[in-house]
Homo-oligomer: A and B are copies of this chain.
């Protein structure tokens, strides 16, 4: 299991160049030698050292995935999409998570440098400044704020955070809701900021000024804490737009524990459409991000760049998100 190409050459009685040529099918080799080499390779359980290969050839067969973290159904679905495409194209995935901060981002990039042929990066919490691009390796950014001047250097896939939240808010207003609240995601994350802006835009457009914005977060606990805050208010809003599903689920759960009926008393809308949103009772109205497909599409773009050495200007894709209406929203009861 620790044999080298030299061992195989010796065993087969040929030069190492010949072994290399047989194993890489690079050019014609005499039939008998070819067979001897193949047999020797199998007998010795020879596996080429990829480090030596990568040193010579430029490619590694690896794709680096840089994520803020790896937990939750959202990232799980994203990885599933990536994994499927990677598998079909014989790439392996090198995953570096938890680069919430700019400093960690640097070390994340370093840790994959030269070990991968391309990069898929999701970093919603980095500013365009902090995100200094690695221009000598093909990169696709997903849900990441990239400065306009850098847009032609890389491919970008974003979702319509602002428009989605705006549409969700408008939907509630159409149902007759007038007193709304918004639970915001982490301020540092650009997607959270965009969603918040979408809410405010819809309220402003409808001329509704009586709303509450609570700083929450992207986790269930944040939603539970927000529930406590809301319950302490004089009167509850009739509808709450929430920055993501986990937070919305936490909110719903905590409100119901206090006797608030969902959706009769309070309607709720989340964001992401994670699998749990459908399982929950009441099931959660939410904005669906086809994150699995996004992962697949991102990797396909990346691989075609790598394979074709495609140097054309970067493309920016902005995917729509779709409102999925479920049980957690309803028309407010009169009075």
Among A29-37, A86-94, A176-184, A191-199, the one that faces the other chain is A86-94
Q: Is A13 interfacial (CB-CB < 8 Å)?
A: no
Q: List 30 A-B contacts (CB under 8 A).
A: A1-B135, A47-B114, A49-B55, A50-B113, A51-B51, A51-B55, A51-B114, A61-B111, A62-B94, A69-B80, A70-B76, A70-B83, A71-B76, A73-B73, A73-B275, A75-B76, A76-B76, A79-B79, A83-B95, A84-B98, A92-B95, A92-B96, A92-B112, A93-B95, A93-B96, A94-B95, A249-B279, A279-B279, A280-B280, A281-B282
Chain A interface main SS type: mixed
Complex CA–CA separation, A84 to B112 (angstroms):
17
Q: Is A27 interfacial (CB-CB < 8 Å)?
A: no
**B50 touching A52 by the CB < 8 A rule?**
no
Of residues 23 to 71 in A, which have CB atoms within 8 Å of B's CB atoms?
Answer: 47, 49-52, 54-55, 60-62, 69-71
Residues of B with C-beta under 8 A to A51: 50-52, 54-55, 60, 114-115
- Of chain B, the residue at the smallest CB distance from A253 is B279
Residues of B with C-beta under 8 A to A92: 94-96, 111-112
Q: Is A157 interfacial (CB-CB < 8 Å)?
A: no
CB distance from A50 to the nearest CB of B (A): 6
Number of interface residues of A (CB under 8 A): 49
- Of chain B, the residue at the smallest CB distance from A134 is B1
- Of chain B, the residue at the smallest CB distance from A56 is B51
CB distance from A290 to the nearest CB of B (A): 14
**B83 touching A87 by the CB < 8 A rule?**
no
Q: Mark A88-111, 1 if CB is under 8 A from B, else 0.
A: 000011111110000000000011
Q: Is A77 interfacial (CB-CB < 8 Å)?
A: yes
Q: Is A276 interfacial (CB-CB < 8 Å)?
A: yes
Residues of B with C-beta under 8 A to A276: 275-276, 279
- Of chain B, the residue at the smallest CB distance from A132 is B45
Q: Is A257 interfacial (CB-CB < 8 Å)?
A: no
Complex CA–CA separation, A60 to B112 (angstroms):
11
Q: Mark A1-27, 1 if CB is under 8 A from B, else 0.
A: 110000000000000000000000000
